Amino acid sequence: MNAGETHFDCSIPTYLVRTMDRSKLIDRKHQVIAQIQQARREMEPLRMRADRRSKRRVRAIEERLEKLMAEEYRLRIEIDQAR
């Protein structure tokens, strides 16, 4: 088995495997949403500051937010396709 592959017991019906996969995708989506909310909370007070360090931190958080939002979007699509 290669890295990243998932091995499922052949005795499990295919529709249950899809449901398990969908469940994992949904769990990950909830984790990503929580991370997005945390990043936004972290960024808010930094936006009010004018110092360079805060501005650098805001840029770093914005980059992280972009990646997280892209992942959430991808997860939404994968969840819809897993139906």
Residue 40 belongs to some domain of the structure: yes
The larger pLDDT score, comparing residue 83 to residue 17, is at 83
Residue 1 belongs to some domain of the structure: no
Residue 77 belongs to some domain of the structure: yes
For 64, the enclosing helix (H) or strand (E) is helix 52-81
Q: Give residue-wise pLDDT tens across range 6-23.
A: 444 445 455 555 666 889
Residue 9 belongs to some domain of the structure: no
Domain that holds residue 77: 14-81
* Contacts for 83 with CB less than 8 Å, ≥ 6 apart: 22
Q: What pTM value is reported for the model?
A: 0.74
Block residue for tokens 């139906």:
83
Structural domains counted in the chain: 1
Side-chain half-sphere exposure of 52, counting CA atoms within 13 A: 0
Residue 39 belongs to some domain of the structure: yes
Residue 48 belongs to some domain of the structure: yes
Residue 3 belongs to some domain of the structure: no
